[in-house]
Structure 1
């Protein structure tokens, strides 16, 4: 199961976000009715005026050691299911893919 894919020079990551959580974390996965895998994430920020989306980008940037400015919301602005674009990540896929897989495999 993978929640990400390479798209040109970038990497797209599918994330199911739980805002307003007691703690921030990446780990676990969720499978939708079509069989697509989504990495699970939790942030403390509330889903108001983009705060949860900004917190998700900051969480992922810190966890991947990637610049926040290189991560953008591709889709899912007001939905729990988000698609994030990590600009330039294809060149570092050998480092990033195992990290992402570790988080997806967490239960």
Structure 2
């Protein structure tokens, strides 16, 4: 889930939604919606941009590392994992996942 300089989370993406938004935690993954269609990487770019805006990090710091063609994706966010996790769980409480150390 973490390394010294990044945080990895699972997300469940609903592409082609009416607007971009994060719905909150669904078990071990963050559920979110993006308006972009799931074609030619558009939805993946929208997912990365949404997470970057939400966590106040640069878009280049958010990447899809697993599941680029699947609704379930593993996302890597560059930065201090404790700080990123604290921001994420402050905005969207309810995760049963342990906090990074």
TM-score, normalising length: structure 1: 0.77
Cα RMSD (Å) of the superposition?
A: 2.2
* Greater helix content: 1
1:50 aligned residue = 41
* 1:102 shift after superposition: 2.5
- Unaligned runs of 5+ residues in structure 2 are 97-101
- Structure 1 residues 19 and 92: alpha-carbon distance in aligned structure 2, compared to 1, 3 A threshold: same
Q: Matched residues in 2 for 1:64 and 1:16: separation? A: 17
**1-structure distance, mates of 2:94, 2:65:** 21
Query: Which residue of structure 1 aligns with residue 90 of structure 2?
Result: 99
**Total equivalences in the alignment:** 96
- TM-score of the superposition, structure 2-length normalised? 0.81
